[in-house]
Amino acid sequence: MSTAVLQGAGGAIGSHFARHLLGRTSLNVVATSRNPDATRKAILDGQGLDEKRLSVLKVDVTEERTIEEAAKEVEKRFGGASLRLLLNVSGVLHADKSIQQVKLEELLHSYQLNTFGHLLTFKHFLPLLPKTADVRKAKESGEKDLANGAVPEGLSVLASLTARVGSIGDNAKGGWVGYRSSKAATNQVILTLQRELELKATPSIAVALHPGTVVETNLSSKWTNPKDAGKKDGVFRAEESTSKLLDVIKCLNAEDGGRFLDWAGKDIKW
């Protein structure tokens, strides 16, 4: 139970998740990206982190084969019951402000990155979850928990970054049709995955996470002001947002599966 996987680690949010996990835990951190060399540099550059625990695998979530190959590589390197944490981070925002502005190519792109990539990553990494017997054996042997408290002891966590605007119950303004609907679809994937996990002998949960409005990312740079970070409620830089979300994850328990939580650990309407 030694591995954390970050799908979509090439952006600011993914790279900061990797930095925090390398700093806070003793887990092997597997980052996936379409550009492994640039991603590795973004994670490690000037940080003084243990680069031996970082693996960066080439994955394009629009090509299922690359996700499957990455899962097989993780199993080969770290074992068939090694997955302790899986974070799906990939995302894109096309600013279709009304139904009439929706473009098919952009809509398909939104679902590929925001929904299908997350779903297919769950599909191929699910077999790497430890079973109840694996957890019991580790406890009985006195094996050190490599998560160092960053993931609840004896539990694996599968999570996707979705967004508050993906909430159907919280939709008061409309707009951003492709983004909203693809995030709502991912929320449904999370809840459905949780129901499946409940039927398996795997001590694991699935949750949807809202990172707040994160400035200076490829997704948000056109619509956010970096000066708002720390001044407006729910507006953060990537380093702070990812730290807050990891604080939420470390406080989860087996009964929290299927929740939709923000950066402060508060529930969001589905």
What CATH number does residue 50 fall under? 3.40.50.720
Amino acid identity at 114: N
Q: What percent of the chain has pLDDT over 90?
A: 82
Distance CA(106)–CA(32), nearest Å, equals 23
pLDDT tens digit sequence for 124-159? 999 999 999 999 998 898 889 999 999 999 999 999
269 falls within a domain = no
230 falls within a domain = no
228 falls within a domain = no
Structural domain total, the chain: 1
pLDDT tens digit sequence for 99-117? 999 999 999 999 999 999 9
Q: Which domain holds residue 16?
A: 3-211+237-262
pLDDT tens digit sequence for 3-19? 999 999 999 999 999 99
Q: Is this prediction's pTM over 0.85?
A: yes
